[in-house]
Amino acid sequence: MAGGVGGDRILNQRLFEIKVISSFAAAHNLKDFRGKCENLHGHNWKVEVVLRGKSLESNGILVDFGEVKAATREALEEVDHKYLNELPFFSQNNPSSENVARFLFEKLSAKLNTGGRRLHSVSAWESADACATYMEF
């Protein structure tokens, strides 16, 4: 039913989107993984934080970049220069890129979801050509 009323409604939605990019360094080793990543190793992670909203504040912005950067810095303090496997969240969840993105999403959504804006996604890049993204609908 491509092109139907429901599809048109989705395509005609208008959203504003902002993105903030940050970084942190951390070590981890993957559990139940066959390969060299089961060994202790580290990454200089890049993190992309994306917020979306349908309307802007009266000052013409979706959210102050400074607010997003401050919340991201605070969340990254929990993982920066740490051995991820030793953190409580990762004792229950494999410290994969997917779960790093999820961990940060959960921290950031609690701080940034207000009014008409919502955290759309968090991507955790473990190298220049490999990332995982977490989002909730």
Q: How do residues 12-30 score in pLDDT, each as one tens digit?
A: 788 999 999 999 999 999 9
Q: How do residues 79-133 score in pLDDT, each as one tens digit?
A: 999 999 999 999 999 999 999 999 999 999 999 999 889 999 999 999 999 999 9
Q: Is 93 helix (H, G, I), strand (E, B) or coil?
A: coil
Q: Is 64 helix (H, G, I), strand (E, B) or coil?
A: coil
Catalytic-labelled residue, pool 28, 43, 120, 126:
126
Per-residue pLDDT, averaged over 46-74, amounts to 96
Distance CA(72)–CA(70), nearest Å, equals: 5
What structural domains and CATH numbers belong to the chain? 16-134 (3.30.479.10)
Catalytic-labelled residue, pool 17, 41, 57, 81:
81
Q: Is 103 helix (H, G, I), strand (E, B) or coil?
A: helix
Distance CA(105)–CA(119), nearest Å, equals: 8
Alpha helices in the chain (DSSP H): 5-11, 65-77, 88-92, 97-112
Question: Does residue 37 carry a catalytic annotation?
Answer: yes
Question: Does residue 126 carry a catalytic annotation?
Answer: yes
Catalytic-labelled residue, pool 37, 57, 77, 136:
37
Which pTM does this prediction carry? 0.90
Going from the C-alpha of 118 to that of each of 56, 63, 92, 97, 99, the distances in angstroms are 12, 10, 27, 22, 20
Helix axes 65-77, 97-112, angle to 10 degrees: 130
Per-residue pLDDT, averaged over 49-67, amounts to 96
- Give the pLDDT confidence score for residue 5 in this predicted structure: 53
